[in-house]
Amino acid sequence: MKRTPMFAVCAACVLLLGAWQTAANLPYELSGSKQLTLPDVTEYRQWPYMGTSMVPNDKNNGKAIFPGIHTVYINPRALRMRREKGIFPDGTIILMENHHVTVREAESGFGYFTTGGMDLLAAVKDRRQFDGEGWGYYFFADRELKAGKKLADLQPAASCRSCHQVGAAEDQVFTQYYPSLKKEP
């Protein structure tokens, strides 16, 4: 009889240790209210680079959703799993820097140039934390970053998920725009 309670205590300790180690290995930090801690720029810029795109506001009748130069990164484990198994596992975080631009003529010709402003957008996959397919979306505005804000609230599902569900090629990720996210044969 004494073995059963001891076994239960040991099993519970192993499960708790496993959960703690899993949380400690995640490339992001969520609070109990699902706020995302601002990722360290010096760390995520060492992650695999997915690509760059340009969304000019003037070519979209002034109605581009995130006008600017987009630079996209993904955590290394997620990219490895994507290439090996064709999935985005729980623990995936994709970060997009949205560099603000201005349009002007330069010595080299007409162009788009960064203004120094930058928003940071994050997509986090964690089916334990988020409903549906397990994605949560976050936005750090330039003015908030400059003011030292370190936490972002989970965006309402309708504000991000609706576009990702309709426009993204796979699992709410816009893989069609980033060749390095293609599955390996």
pLDDT, tens digit, for every residue of 12-61?
A: 444 444 443 355 589 999 999 999 999 999 999 999 999 999 999 999 99
For the chain, which domains are there? 28-181 (3.50.70.20)
Check residue 3 and give its pLDDT.
Answer: 56
Distance CA 78, CA 60 (A): 32
The bridge status of strand 36-37 relative to strand 49-55 is: unpaired
Q: What is the pTM (predicted TM-score) of this model?
A: 0.84
In whole angstroms, how far apart are CA 75 and each of 59, 90, 125?
A: 32, 11, 11
Tokens of 110: 């007409």
Q: Which of 13-27, 45-59, 73-87, 104-118 has the lowest mean pLDDT?
A: 13-27
Average pLDDT, the chain: 88
Confidence of residue 6 (pLDDT cuts 50, 70, 90): low
| Residues in the chain, total | 185
**% of the chain at pLDDT higher than 70:** 86
71, β-bridge pairs: 52, 97
| CA 69 – CA 89 distance, rounded (Å) | 27
CB-CB contact of 153 with 138 (8 Å): yes
Q: Inform me whether the pLDDT recorded for 143 exceeds 70.
A: yes
